């Protein structure tokens, strides 16, 4: 009898499992980039306070503002991030995303995938972008998913605007909120705020972190703990320093 119960439980769990392959487009038509990279951190993983956790998903811009965003969230929310060169159309994207979502469960997911998506078919990207959001919602049905658009390039590349328009349309179709980081940055001085074609100087990275923290804290207002979270400094920072 016990064996039968265990078998039935296994069947039920398998039936309820969310498989990324059910969401990944059959053929994205993308071979990837010459140099691919991926960075994944979960800070304060052992916290048992019940404080909400934010998971930011993005690219090098996400990697850039993550320290500032975590600091700006202060002692109200725990923080994880996955920054990667992978476009949603990359054959490895959904498989890697699946592993990230298996980490500490977030209450809020901030999702962006723009600046490594400049080449290729816009419609294929729309499909993959939509499917990625549907996969996140299926895998984390209790999480609040927020779409984040791409930041401006120093040369004001038109394709970023076009991708952002698609992202806004997808967010609307799926009933998801959108944070317009593009508009927050678009009027900055191109000779002061940027340090290269797409990345920002530290003062402006801090502005991005503070802005995003404000939007996230508003989105998670009902989740905030009565007491401050004890942010323990046991994580090895991306620069190799113990923080």
DSSP string, the chain: -HHHHHHHHHHHHHHH---GGGTS-S-------SS--EEEEETTTT--S---EEEEEESHHHHHHHHHHHHHHTTS-EEEEEEES--TTSTTHHHHHHHHHTSSPPSEEEE---TT--SS-HHHHHHHHHHHHHHHHHH-TTSEEEEEPPPPPTT--HHHHHHHHHHHHHHHHHT--EE-HHHHHTTS-TTTTBSSSS-B-HHHHHHHHHHHHHHHHHHTGGG--SS-------SBPTTS-B-
Q: Residue range 63-83: average pLDDT?
A: 94
Instruction: Please report whether residue 91 resides in a domain.
Output: yes
In a domain, 118, yes or no: yes
Other C-beta atoms closer than 10 Å to the C-beta of 176 total 18
Residue 82 maps to a domain: yes
Question: Would residue 231 count as lying in a domain?
Answer: no
Q: Could you report the per-residue pLDDT of 1-14, keeping only the tens digit for each? A: 555 444 444 433 34
Sheet harboring 38-42: ordered strands across? 38-42, 78-84, 53-58, 108-111, 144-148, 178-179
For residue 182, the domain's CATH number is: 3.40.50.1110
In a domain, 139, yes or no: yes
Domain presence at residue 67? yes
pLDDT digits (tens, 9 = 90+) for 21-69: 999 998 767 877 889 999 999 998 888 888 999 999 999 999 999 999 9
Q: What is the pTM of this model?
A: 0.89
Phi, then psi, of 147 in degrees rounded to 5: -85, 135
Question: Is 232 contained in some domain?
Answer: no
Which carries the bigger pLDDT value, residue 200 or residue 119?
200
Percent of the chain predicted with pLDDT > 70: 88
In this prediction, residues 97-123 reach a mean pLDDT of 93
Residue 186 falls within a domain, yes or no?
Answer: yes
**Average of per-residue pLDDT across 168-192:** 98
Question: How far, in Å, CA of 131 to CA of 159, rounded?
Answer: 21
Q: What is the pLDDT of residue 85?
A: 96
Number of domains forming the structure of the chain: 1
- For residue 82, the enclosing domain spans 36-43+51-223
């Amino acid at each position: 009898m016990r064996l039968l119960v265990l078998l039935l439980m296994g069947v039920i769990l398998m039936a309820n499992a969310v498989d990324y392959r059910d969401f990944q487009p059959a053929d994205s038509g993308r071979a990837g980039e010459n140099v691919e990279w991926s960075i994944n951190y979960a800070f304060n993983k052992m916290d048992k306070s019940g404080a909400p956790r934010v998971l930011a998903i993005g690219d090098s811009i996400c990697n850039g503002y993550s320290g500032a965003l975590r600091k700006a969230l202060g002692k109200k929310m725990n923080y994880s991030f996955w920054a990667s060169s992978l476009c949603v159309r990359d054959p490895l994207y959904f498989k890697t995303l699946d592993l990230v979502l298996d980490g500490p469960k977030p209450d809020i997911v901030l999702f962006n995938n723009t600046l490594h998506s400049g080449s290729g078919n816009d419609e294929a990207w729309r499909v993959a972008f939509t499917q990625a959001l549907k996969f996140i919602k299926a895998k984390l049905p209790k999480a609040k998913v927020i779409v984040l658009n791409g930041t401006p390039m120093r040369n004001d590349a038109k394709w970023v605007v076009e991708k952002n328009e698609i992202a806004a349309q997808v967010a609307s179709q799926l009933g998801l909120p959108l944070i317009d980081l593009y508009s927050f940055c678009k009027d900055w001085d191109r000779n002061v705020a940027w340090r290269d074609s797409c990345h920002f100087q530290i003062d402006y990275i801090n502005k991005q972190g503070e802005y995003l923290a404000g939007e996230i804290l508003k989105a998670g207002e009902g989740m905030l703990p009565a007491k401050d979270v004890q942010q323990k400094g046991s994580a090895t920072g991306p620069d190799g320093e113990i923080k």
